[in-house]
C-alpha cells in the first residue's frame, strides 16, 4: 500500500494534478499553432514601403536602432549614431510618424569610464500592448534605458556589455544618469556559452503577470567565444539594476549568422517578438516569433516581414520597431543602401506624402 501511494504521489507531481493546483505545460501551451501564426502575420504585415523617413542632420553619420514611443502628445524616437569613434544616443520627435526632427544627444561620449566610447541606448518599459498608448512607464520615479556600453573606440570595439541609465525627464535633451558599471557583461562569473564574448542590443519590458517570476524582462543578442553567431537570450530583474540570467540557452538562435534586436508586443494572449535575421540566408531581413509565456517561442516560417528590395535598403533591411496606430501598422527599420545608413518605414496601408 505504501508503494502504491508513493507511485500515485509521483504521478500527481508529474502530471500537475495535485499540488498547488499547478498544471504541467503541454505542447499546446508552448507551441503556437500554424493557424495562429498566420493570423498574427496577417495582423502585423507591412507590404508597402514608404521609404526613408529619417537621416541624421550630418549625413556622414550612421544611424541605427530606432525606438518609438509617445509622450506629451508627440511621437519620439531614440536612435543611435556612429561617427567613427563609437556610439552615442540621440532623441528625435515627430507629430505624424513620418516627418522627424533631431533634438540632440542624451547619452554622449565620456572619459575614463567603462562606457567611454560606446553608449547605444534603447528606451525601456514602453507599453507593449498592440495598438496601445506606446507611452513609457516610470519605475522608482524614473524613466529607464538599457544601453550597449564599452570603453574602446571603433565600431562595436572591445568588450561590450549592458548598461542602465535613468532620467526624471523623458523628452528633454539632457544627459541621462548612468550606473557606474554594467549590469550584464561577457566576463560575468555566471556567463552562458552563447554570450561570453560580446553582448549587443537589449530590450526591457514590464511583465506585470511575472510569468518568469520577475516583473522586468530583458531580451538581448549576444555572441560566444566558441559560437561565432548571435543569439537572443533573456535576463530578469526585480529592480532594473540587478539582473539575473534566465535559462541555460538562447530563446532564439539559428546557430549561424545573427538573430537580434528583439522588440516585444502583446496581441491578445500572444506575445510577438520582432527581430532581425542576417547571414543564415543572404542579407539582413525582419522576422517574428510568438509565445504564450515569454520563454518558449515559435518562429514564423513564412516570408520575411521586411527584406531588401529598394536602393535605400538594398544591403540590409533590419533592426525593427513596429507599432499599430489608428489602424495602420508602422514598421520602422534600419535601412542600408545607396542613401547610407538611415531609418526607413514600411506600412500596412499606403501612406500619402
Position 25 confidence tier, pLDDT thresholds 50, 70, 90: low
Task: Report which of 72, 204, 65, 79 is spatially closest to residue 139, judged by C-alpha positions.
Answer: 204
Helix (H, G, I), strand (E, B) or coil at 28: helix
Grid cell listed for 61 = 553619420
Domain 31-347 architecture: 5 Propeller (2.115)
Asked if pLDDT for residue 11 goes beyond 70, the answer is: no
Asked if pLDDT for residue 158 goes beyond 90, the answer is: yes
**Tell me: the pLDDT tens digits for 32-65?**
999 999 999 999 999 999 999 999 888 788 999 9
**Tell me: the pLDDT tens digits for 75-112?**
999 999 999 999 999 999 999 999 999 999 999 999 99
Neighbours of 62 (CB within 10 A): 18
Q: What's the chain's Rg over C-alpha atoms?
A: 21
Q: Exposed e or buried b for every residue in 293-314, given b needs 16+ CB within 10 A?
A: ebbebbbbeeebbbbbeeebbe
Predicted model pTM: 0.91
Residue 319: what pLDDT?
97
Grid cell listed for 318 = 533590419
Residue 24: what pLDDT?
52
268 conformational bin, left if phi > 0, alpha if psi -120 to 50, beta if neither: left
Position 27 confidence tier, pLDDT thresholds 50, 70, 90: low
Stretch (H or E) spanning 225: none
pLDDT-above-90 percentage for the chain: 87
Confirm if 23 and 16 have CB atoms less than 8 A apart.
Answer: yes
Confirm if 271 and 295 have CB atoms less than 8 A apart.
Answer: no
How many whole angstroms from its chain centre is CA 62? 20
Q: For residues 108 and 48, what is the distance between their CA atoms, to the nearest angstrom?
A: 35
Position 9 confidence tier, pLDDT thresholds 50, 70, 90: very low
Question: 3-state DSSP: the chain helix, strand, coil percent, rounded to 5?
Answer: 10, 45, 45
Residue 227: what pLDDT?
76
DSSP string, 106-130: EE---SSSTTTTEEEEEE-SB--BT
Q: For residues 35 and 49, what is the distance between their CA atoms, to the nearest angstrom?
A: 26
- Cα-Cα end-to-end distance for the chain: 79
Confirm if 316 and 334 have CB atoms less than 8 A apart.
Answer: yes
Mean pLDDT of all residues in 145-153:
97
Q: For residues 19 and 209, what is the distance between their CA atoms, to the nearest angstrom?
A: 21
Q: For residues 143 and 350, what is the distance between their CA atoms, to the nearest angstrom?
A: 34
Q: For residues 93 and 171, what is the distance between their CA atoms, to the nearest angstrom?
A: 9
Position 10 confidence tier, pLDDT thresholds 50, 70, 90: very low
Q: For residues 91 and 73, what is the distance between their CA atoms, to the nearest angstrom?
A: 16
Q: For residues 52 and 195, what is the distance between their CA atoms, to the nearest angstrom?
A: 33
How many whole angstroms from its chain centre is CA 110? 25
Q: What is the domain partition of the chain in residue ranges?
A: 1-30, 31-347
Q: For residues 159 and 199, what is the distance between their CA atoms, to the nearest angstrom?
A: 8
pLDDT-above-70 percentage for the chain: 92
Q: What is the mean pLDDT of the chain?
A: 92
Confirm if 337 and 325 have CB atoms less than 8 A apart.
Answer: no
Residue 56: what pLDDT?
84
**Tell me: the pLDDT tens digits for 170-222?**
999 999 999 999 999 999 998 999 999 999 999 999 999 999 999 999 999 99
Tell me which DSSP letter residue 311 carries: G
Residue 3: what pLDDT?
41
Q: For residues 260 and 274, what is the distance between their CA atoms, to the nearest angstrom?
A: 9
**Tell me: the pLDDT tens digits for 309-350?**
999 999 999 999 999 999 999 999 999 999 999 999 999 999
Give the range among 16-25, 67-76, 150-159, 297-306 with minimum mean pLDDT: 16-25
Residue 17: what pLDDT?
35
Amino acid at each position: 500500500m505504501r508503494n502504491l501511494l508513493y507511485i500515485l504521489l509521483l504521478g500527481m507531481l508529474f502530471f500537475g494534478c495535485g499540488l498547488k493546483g499547478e498544471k504541467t505545460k503541454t505542447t499546446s501551451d508552448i507551441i503556437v499553432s500554424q493557424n495562429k501564426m498566420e493570423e498574427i502575420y496577417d495582423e502585423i504585415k507591412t507590404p508597402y514601403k514608404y521609404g526613408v523617413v529619417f537621416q541624421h542632420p550630418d549625413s556622414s553619420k550612421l544611424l541605427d536602432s530606432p525606438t518609438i514611443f509617445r509622450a506629451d502628445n508627440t511621437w519620439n524616437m531614440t536612435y543611435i549614431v556612429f561617427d567613427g569613434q563609437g556610439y552615442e544616443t540621440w532623441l528625435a520627435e515627430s507629430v505624424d510618424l513620418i516627418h522627424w526632427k533631431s533634438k540632440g544627444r542624451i547619452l554622449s561620449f565620456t572619459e575614463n569610464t567603462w562606457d567611454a566610447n560606446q553608449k547605444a541606448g534603447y528606451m525601456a518599459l514602453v507599453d507593449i500592448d498592440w495598438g496601445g498608448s506606446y507611452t513609457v512607464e516610470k519605475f522608482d520615479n524614473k524613466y529607464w534605458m538599457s544601453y550597449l556600453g564599452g570603453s574602446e573606440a571603433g565600431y562595436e570595439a572591445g568588450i561590450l556589455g549592458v548598461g542602465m541609465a535613468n532620467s526624471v525627464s523623458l523628452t528633454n535633451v539632457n544627459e541621462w544618469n548612468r550606473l557606474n558599471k554594467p549590469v550584464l557583461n561577457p566576463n560575468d562569473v555566471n556567463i552562458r556559452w552563447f554570450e561570453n564574448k560580446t553582448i549587443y542590443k537589449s530590450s526591457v519590458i514590464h511583465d506585470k503577470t511575472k510569468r518568469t517570476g520577475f516583473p522586468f524582462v530583458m531580451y538581448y543578442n549576444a555572441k560566444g567565444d566558441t559560437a561565432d553567431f548571435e543569439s537572443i537570450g533573456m535576463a530578469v530583474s526585480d529592480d532594473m539594476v540587478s539582473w539575473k540570467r534566465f535559462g541555460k540557452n538562447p530563446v532564439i538562435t539559428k546557430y549561424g549568422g545573427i538573430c537580434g534586436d528583439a522588440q516585444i508586443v502583446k496581441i491578445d494572449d500572444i506575445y510577438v517578438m520582432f527581430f532581425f535575421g542576417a547571414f543564415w540566408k543572404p542579407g539582413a531581413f525582419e522576422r517574428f516569433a510568438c509565445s504564450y509565456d515569454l520563454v518558449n517561442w515559435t518562429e514564423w516560417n513564412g516570408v520575411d516581414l521586411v527584406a531588401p528590395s529598394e536602393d535605400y535598403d538594398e544591403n540590409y533591411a533590419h533592426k525593427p520597431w513596429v507599432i499599430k496606430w489608428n489602424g495602420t501598422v508602422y514598421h520602422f527599420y534600419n535601412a542600408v543602401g545607396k542613401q547610407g545608413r538611415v531609418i526607413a518605414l514600411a506600412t500596412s496601408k499606403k501612406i500619402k506624402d
